[in-house]
Amino acid sequence: MADNSGDWTSAEDRVERARGLFQSGKHEEAATQLRRALATDPDRGEWHHNLAVTLDAMGRHPEALASYQRAIELLPNHAHALLGAAQGSLRAGNPDECVQYCERVSKIDPKLEPGYSMRILALGMLRRFEDAESVYFLAQQYLKEMPLCLAEMANILAQQGKFERAIWCYREAMSQNPKLPAVKTRLGIVFLRAGQLESALQVLMQALREQPGDSGTLLALGRTLEGLGRTVEAEEKYRRIIEMEPANHAAHIRLGDIALRSGRLDEARAAYSLVITLGVTDTAVRLRLVEALSRLNLRNEAGRHLEEIFGRATIPANSPIVEDASIALGAAGTAIECGRPLIAVRILAASVNRHPKDERLVRKLARAQFESGDRLGGLRTARRLLALNRNCIETLHNIALDAMNHGEFRRASAAIARGLKLQPADSGLRRIRLRLVGIRVKEYLQSTSRRMVNAVKWIVDRIKSTKRPINLRRS
């Protein structure tokens, strides 16, 4: 029988050599050595784990996940391999798998904090907030200090809008581990979202001193400065980001927003166009480009963009334009101005389904339907609005105007009378009433004129038809 002991020794040597190469930052060479070692002995779970860590360091995360999973098959109780697989599952968009791996970690080693912190993160991604909080309290039973868990719990609380609790968790995490990455920036962002701008400014300035080139900190600081009205300083922060990262679309969007608010429409147009060129397909950004084009009176171009966004595709129920009524109203208003009322109807119909009691949306939907020629739809929506608000003057105005335009004068009069009873000084309804009176006077005069013409014609016909001559009377 052949002696293969030299092969085993060689494989062990390769693993040891790979360790040195990894520590020297030569990850590609380290991976090569590990693969050769595994070719000799493919059932060494710790070597698969080493290869996975090396591949992770190289950014080859799908391959790393496969190696972690192979290591777990061979070593089911290898806690760090399970953590690596959990991280890989998160990167692959599988938080459920991450939760399962982390549960196994906590059973093997209940004092290993990442088993809890990563599970909290994954449960937050799944929006299982109560379960995440349960894991947080479970970790407290085994850990005296848990800065990672505190930071992840703070993220979830901030996501739910529980800013005060989130602020406490971030501060506690920093007190337990002052070097925890990005926590100061996240704390600053929570202060910003909570409207505590001075506190946000203070924390973000500290974070920037510690990490001068961090684009996330610069972006949050710029937004804080905008909120404080220090727009010029905010623009300087965004331009600094772009100097470091020319393709940073978030910074370009912020510069575009400032330009749009300031009336520098050409700058706004250029910024949003660049962002779209960079591959960002966010509907809100494209709508801001449409707004800039519309305000530049480039309405045909704005209309073409609207058709690209909403022309045929179904508007998703979770789209920002459906979720946020103000975005829907702005987009619909621009669509109407650009001569695309049908697009306005699509936008508003989707948003009304999400916010059925928002009078602003229902009112604008009725207007868009009337302007698009959908009279029956407009009337249905107008009646729906009157059910929400019996005293809606705008709706009574539109009903009266529609009835008058279609010759339904009695219905128009009823709507005008109802509206003027609520607001006698309403100028719009009074103008419609005046116009209606004018139409009725005109019709009366035309009718009277026709009767007079018919009477004269009858007299002439009678004169022509008589056979008796009309002679002069003798004195």
The band of 470, judged by pLDDT with boundaries at 50, 70 and 90, is very low
473, pLDDT greater than 50: no
Q: What is the pLDDT of residue 5?
A: 44
| Cβ proximity of 113 and 146 under 8 Å | yes
Q: Considering only CA atoms, which of 61, 50, 58, 64 is closest in space to residue 19?
A: 50
Q: Would you say residue 150 has pLDDT above 80?
A: yes
Sequential DSSP letters for 136-163:
HHHHHHH-S--HHHHHHHHHHHHHTT-H
Task: Give residue 247's pLDDT.
Answer: 94
Looking at domain 181-262, its CATH superfamily turns out to be Tetratricopeptide repeat domain (1.25.40.10)
More confident position, 376 or 4? 376
The domain ranges of the chain are: 181-262, 281-389, 400-440
Asked if residue 180 lies in contact with residue 147, where contact means CB atoms within 8 angstroms, the answer is yes
- Please report the pLDDT score of residue 408 as a whole number: 80
pLDDT confidence of 251, banded at 50, 70, 90?
very high
Tell me the backbone φ, ψ of residue 147, rounded to 5 degrees: -60, -35
Neighbours of 341 (CB within 10 A): 20
**187 or 400: which carries more pLDDT confidence?**
187
pLDDT in tens, 370-405: 888 888 888 888 888 888 888 777 778 778 887 777
pLDDT tens figures, 67-98: 999 999 999 999 999 999 999 999 999 999 99
Listed residue (289, 265, 261, 264) closest to 275, CA to CA: 289
For residue 9, name the pLDDT band (cuts at 50, 70, 90). low
Residue written as token pair 């704390």: 187
What is the model's pLDDT at position 462? 63
Residue 215 · residue 241 · CB < 8 Å: yes
Q: What integer pLDDT is reported at residue 464 of this predicted model? A: 60
The pLDDT, as a whole number, for residue 404 is: 78
Average pLDDT over the chain, rounded to an integer: 88
DSSP string of 184-240? HHHHHHHHHHTT-HHHHHHHHHHHHHHSTT-HHHHHHHHHHHHHTT-HHHHHHHHHH
181-262 and 281-389: identical CATH topology = yes
How many whole angstroms separate alpha carbon 436 and alpha carbon 364? 25
pLDDT at 325 exceeding the cut of 60: yes
pLDDT above 70 (res 322): yes
Arithmetic mean of pLDDT, 342-370:
89
pLDDT tens per residue, range 268-309: 999 999 999 998 888 889 889 999 998 999 988 988 888 888
pLDDT of residue 463: 58
- Is the pLDDT at 312 greater than 70? The verdict is no
d(CA 80, CA 189): 32
For the record, the structure tokens of 410 come out as 């009695």
The share of the chain scoring above pLDDT 90, in percent, equals 56
Residue pLDDT, tens place only, 409-434: 888 788 788 878 888 888 877 887 88
Closest C-alpha to 375, from 347, 325, 341? 341
Could you report the per-residue pLDDT of 96-133, keeping only the tens digit for each? 999 999 999 999 999 999 999 999 999 999 999 999 99
Residue 459 binned pLDDT confidence (cut-offs 50, 70, 90): low
Written as six digits, the tokens of 449 are 């004129």
- Picking from 95, 92, 41, the residue whose alpha carbon sits closest to that of residue 63 is 92
Report the pLDDT value the prediction gives residue 170, as an integer from 0 to 100: 96
CATH of 281-389, one of 1.20.1290.10, 3.40.50.2000, 1.25.40.10, 3.90.1150.10: 1.25.40.10
